[in-house]
Amino acid sequence: MTDNPYLTGQFLIAMPAMADPNFDRTVTYICEHNEDGALGIIVNRPTDMLLGEVLEQMDLKISDPELAERPVLLGGPVQPDRGFVIHDDQGAAFSSTMAVPDGLRITTSRDILVALADGQGPPRVVVALGYAGWGAGQLEAEMAANSWLTVPASADIIFSVPFERRWESAAALIGVNMADLSPEAGHA
């Protein structure tokens, strides 16, 4: 067990009583958390937009039809026009990449999208628009109010589990069955 009070590299799993519709039944991958606040990407909210459409809007022709059909996620309510790519560390250097625990990376620069379009990008990627952000102390207050469960993140859930099963699958990592939890917080 670590003494680190921060949640970088963890999943935030919205409790059933979550009142904010932006986070109802979400799994948020925390990319950065420190004394100044936190930044996370929701990993279970697909949009109607496909990766091929995004790349086409950027004048990039995608070489892999299967990749073109991947949904783009709604990563959170903040800056929904800003793109984030969660991917494995494959040794490639991109212009704007943040290292996250367990060999994952978050890249926000165009060069990773160019690499993906050319078939040279990381094999496991999730593309999201927008992010979830918390100011200093805000996430800690929400944790104290029992708004979230936390669990070390799983790359398999991010990349392999179907979107509609990620909420339950993330909670199952710590033995919680979400169907057993009441949406009425604090009542027995």
List the one residue out of 21, 27, 6, 24 whose CA is nearest residue 158: 27
Q: How far is CA 41 from the centre of its chain?
A: 3
Q: What are phi and psi of 133, to 5 degrees?
A: -135, 145
Its CATH architecture, for the domain 10-180, is 3-Layer(aba) Sandwich (3.40)
Let me know: does 125 contact 113? Beta carbons within 8 Å: no
Q: What is the C-alpha to C-alpha distance for residues 183 and 15, in angstroms, rounded to an integer?
A: 8
Each of the 188 residues of the chain gets a pLDDT tens digit; together they read 345 668 999 999 999 988 899 999 999 999 999 999 999 999 999 999 999 999 999 999 888 888 899 999 999 999 999 999 999 887 767 888 888 877 899 999 999 999 999 988 898 999 999 999 999 999 999 999 889 999 999 999 999 999 999 999 999 999 988 888 766 554 44
Query: What are 78's strand-pairing partners?
Result: 131
pTM of this structure: 0.91
Q: Where are the domains of the chain?
A: 10-180
Q: How far is CA 139 from the centre of its chain?
A: 16
